[in-house]
Structure 1
Amino acid sequence: MKGSKQWLVAAAIVGVGLSSAIGLTSHAATTQQTFISTLKSPVKTVANQYKLYPSVMMAQAALESGWGTSQLTLQANNYFGIKGSYNGQSVSMETSEYDANGQLYTTAANFRKYPNAKASMTDNAKLLRNGISGNSAYYSGTWRENAATYAAAANALTGTYATAPTYGASLIALIQQYGLNSLDKKTSSTTSSSSSSSANSGATVQPVYATAKYYGVSGTQTARLGSKYTSYRVYNHIKGTREKVTKTAWSKLKVGPGQLVYLNMRGVKKAPTTGKKTTWYRVTFSPAKSAKKYWVYGAALTLPTVKYAAGQATVKLSAASGDYYNHVFNSPYLAKAQGTLSQLKAKTYTADNQAVKTQDGIKTTWYRILAGKTKYWVAADHTAATPQYDYVAYTKTSGTRKLSKTFKKYHLYNHVKKTHFDQQEFKWPSKVKAGTKVTFNQIVTKPAYQTTWYRIQFSGSKTNYWVDARALTK
């Protein structure tokens, strides 16, 4: 199978009975019809819960498990060859895999051991619904809202779930041969119009929608369409959150990769069955207020990147106009202004986090400051906020020194103290003592404090540390 190393098909399939793998008491139950009738209930329950085609799930289970005769199915109720462990339970099996050169080889691997068939069906359904790392919509072609027929869903597994070019066709052939498409039919809530109000008629099943939490934004925040944006869809609302969500074809929008889009809202969707959260954005293709709004899944966009670093600095605010925000402006979180800088009464604030944002090749720096009991983000530039560091003068030189008798009164740092945001303090190596020789390769003076600092290295190490000169002696 393609996409994740944890999801591979076991190659060891032998012709033996279904036995206890599917909960049967008879050891002679080997026919396909027995397999279908035994798994009908868990397949329909799970497939409908995750909005998949029961016919495709049944066909997959039959194909992957050899109609329930594989040793993996017999010993572990594992119908889809899923590797790893399930609630700490696994079995070791030999499996055939391909190496980097395309050569087939046999190796031992641990496969998940399930308590029953339904657990195996659920695990596979979660894979199809949640996708792979970095792409939760990887198997979206199998979802009933995207696949108009079971055949479309089966074909969507070719090249994703399995690399075999005939994988989808094999599933379709099984569905047609054994009439598995009958599993896809939904049971009517009533038997007839005349008996719809009778006590025996079934209750109407209400659809379960995903929930979404929405976050507003300020100003003009932008992103670009990613190189694979057409792998996703454009909707009038976040998909699956309400009735009659419609989609628009990309071809109608006349856009392409790299197209600038304007972001005016962020939504975090929570799946009703798994609780999995995904991020969506409401976009327009023009900055005009009248521009039509669409919702897209975040993976369809190339968003600015932000690298965060914890640390400490004093940030001085200017009197110039500007805003402070709940997030870095135009970061993937999007940002909403919390007020103007002129509303912050103090002139300096302590920052505990630094962010470097890269958008279209341009880098900007932001600091998170504490104002009262609330933290805000401010841009680091001469018109808004500037970090305050001690002035130092560097001299590149070299030589040796020894640790003084009072060296433990001082500390080792990755930078001269109060000169960089990501200041880190380190302990002295356990084996050093007064008189231990060190080499230095740079000297710094801090005129305001009339102190000198050395950048030193210990014998046998290439790591540089900064230390106050008072920790050293000749």
Structure 2
Amino acid sequence: MVRIKRWLLAALVMSAGVSGFMLTKGTSHAATTDPQTFISTLKSPVTTVANQYKLYPSVMMAQAALESAWGTSTLTTTANNYFGIKGSYNGASVTMKTAEYDSNGQLYYTNANFRKYPSAKASMTDNAKLLRNGTSYNTSIYSGTWRENAATYADAANALTGTYATAPTYGSSLISIIKQYGLNTLLDASASDSSSSNSNSGSTPKPKPVVYSKATYYGASGTQTARLSGQYATYRLYNHVKGTRANITKTAWSKVAAGKNVLVYLDMRGVKKDASTGKKTTWYRIRFAKNTSAKKYWVYTKALTLPTVKYTSGTAAVKVNNTVSGSYYDHVFNSPYLAKSMGALNKLTAKSYVADKQAIKTQDGYKSTWYRIKVGKQAYWIAATETAAAPQYDAVTYSAASGTKKLSAKYSKYTLYNHVKKTHFNQKTYKWPAGSKKGTKVTVNFKGVKTAYKTTWYRIQFNGSQTNYWVDARALA
């Protein structure tokens, strides 16, 4: 279902000469410049439909008045379409000229099909279904208008701002109409009386409180960066994580220095758990200037292009150069997790630390290496840049080799590796292939000599396999 977010050229008042109440035979639209006549004519379908879908009748009446110019728009008088909904209804539609805006914000005019309804009630019902069922991309986009979520008609009206219509004054315009014509007392009170008559206690049931989503926040050092993605404009800027509290406001991208690949600064990550579905989404708090006092906004993760990080498990002794300035962190700095400084490198005084993970981060085409080290019982990340952290590997001199060798009598005392032992972070060990025994022939294709220990290693393959293994030369005869 498609809705209109701007005034239709066709929906403007037909002429200044229209006056009085007009009811066309065979239809049930109300064309009038008298609001009281409009209200009395539509009171029955509005209250019936709104109560059926558990919406506020006052808000529906105000919407119908605002969208149809009190029933005088051409779209309403010719098609009973009070809400400017495009498309067709049971195959029926009318074509009208409408004002649109292109991607550059330029106004232009085009013809569009709008739904033609057999009655005002059908139009009310169609709009009520939209508010209850939402859109294909967000079924709960209008949930703020539901009586179980909106404590007052004003809450429901304000929930339409930024969802049903982009005009920032849309909700306040509806509230103004409701107050001016007493629609809350006239329409919503009857809805409450109707529901209370079915109650054993005789009291009006209180609307259910709005249940907000929960967010868990992770603070971070404020100099981390990302860039606006190519689809950033699809999302919005908020003053809080969307859906986590009342009265959250939005800021248009036009109000900030936005654009694809624009650099932004991040200082907090939020993980939201949706109150209805339980689905988790990630949000970031950003600013458009390096100064930490600059205004901050929350955005959904897909509005950003974040650095990528590839993690590898392994082991290495890492020497920390504690004479350079810098910090160690709870995560890789500038990773999608964001990172918080946990202390200065000059506080790490041990000669070496054991690393159990390596991370290769790519940001703006530049790669950097990080290691996760154990300091006591805690794990921290340090950068390998600027010699802040250097893994300690054995030096090896490699050379080409060929020919065959046989497994020695003591071969099983040694281990097969993917690299010469203690020369790479992602060191792996393997079991001897099935059928291995003293005298088994293997093909040699590379040789390595550890410089410090003068020990020899061979890279071998077993018959019928293309897998390479490194093994101590003592495992071979």
Instruction: Tell me, in whole angstroms, the C-alpha distance in 2 between the residues paired with 1:205 and 1:223.
Output: 40
User: Structure 2 counterpart of 1:303, which letter?
Assistant: L
Conserved 8 A contact 2:141-2:163: no
5+ residue gaps, structure 2, are: 1-50, 56-88, 90-132, 145-158, 166-186
Q: Does 1:423 pair with 2:421?
A: no
What does residue 285 of structure 1 align with?
Answer: 288
TM-score (structure 2 length as normaliser): 0.60
Pairwise mapping of residues 394-405 of structure 1 onto structure 2 (< 5 A)? Answer: 394-405=398-409
| 1:275 shift after superposition | 2.1
What does residue 353 of structure 2 align with?
Answer: 349
2:224 to 215, 221, 226: 221
Q: Does 1:301 pair with 2:304?
A: yes
Report Cα offsets for 1:25-68 as digits up to 9, x if no partner: xxxxxxxxxxxxxxx99x979xxxxxxxxxxxxxxxxx9xxxxx
Report Cα offsets for 1:88-128 as digits up to 9, x if no partner: xxxxxxxxxxxxxxxxxxxxxxxxxxxxxxxxxxxxx8xx8
Instruction: Tell me, in whole angstroms, the C-alpha distance in 1 between the residues paired with 2:138 and 2:189.
Output: 25
What does residue 93 of structure 2 align with?
Answer: none
| 1:422 shift after superposition | 0.3
Conserved 8 A contact 1:189-1:204: no
User: Structure 2 counterpart of 1:263, which letter?
Assistant: L
2:208 to 175, 197, 205: 205
What does residue 442 of structure 2 align with?
Answer: 438
| 1:251 shift after superposition | 2.3
What does residue 333 of structure 2 align with?
Answer: 329
Conserved 8 A contact 2:309-2:335: yes
Conserved 8 A contact 1:141-1:147: no
What does residue 51 of structure 1 align with?
Answer: none
Instruction: Tell me, in whole angstroms, the C-alpha distance in 1 between the residues paired with 2:376 and 2:309.
Output: 26
Instruction: Tell me, in whole angstroms, the C-alpha distance in 1 between the residues paired with 2:468 and 2:245.
Output: 58
Q: Does 1:367 pair with 2:371?
A: yes
Instruction: Tell me, in whole angstroms, the C-alpha distance in 2 between the residues paired with 1:422 and 1:268.
Output: 31
Instruction: Tell me, in whole angstroms, the C-alpha distance in 1 between the residues paired with 2:277 and 2:454.
Output: 61
Q: Which has the larger radius of gyration?
A: 2
Q: Does 1:250 pair with 2:248?
A: no
How many aligned residue pairs are there?
Answer: 313
Q: Does 1:461 pair with 2:459?
A: no
Conserved 8 A contact 1:212-1:241: yes
| 1:187 shift after superposition | 9.7
Conserved 8 A contact 1:189-1:201: no
User: Structure 2 counterpart of 1:345, which letter?
Assistant: T
Conserved 8 A contact 2:322-2:348: no
| 1:464 shift after superposition | 0.8
Conserved 8 A contact 2:241-2:283: yes
What does residue 98 of structure 1 align with?
Answer: none
Q: Does 1:235 pair with 2:234?
A: no
Report Cα offsets for 1:212-237 as digits up to 9, x if no partner: 11111114100001111111111111
| Cα 1:237–1:455 shift into 2, 3 Å | same
Q: Name the % identity.
A: 59
Instruction: Tell me, in whole angstroms, the C-alpha distance in 1 between the residues paired with 2:446 and 2:188.
Output: 77
Moved more, 388-397 or 330-339: 388-397
Conserved 8 A contact 1:399-1:439: yes
What does residue 15 of structure 2 align with?
Answer: none
| 1:412 shift after superposition | 0.7
Report Cα offsets for 1:124-145 as digits up to 9, x if no partner: x8xx89xxxxxxxx81386116
Pairwise mapping of residues 126-275 of structure 1 onto structure 2 (< 5 A)? Answer: 139-140=137-138, 143-144=141-142, 190-191=192-193, 200-275=203-278
| 1:149 shift after superposition | 11
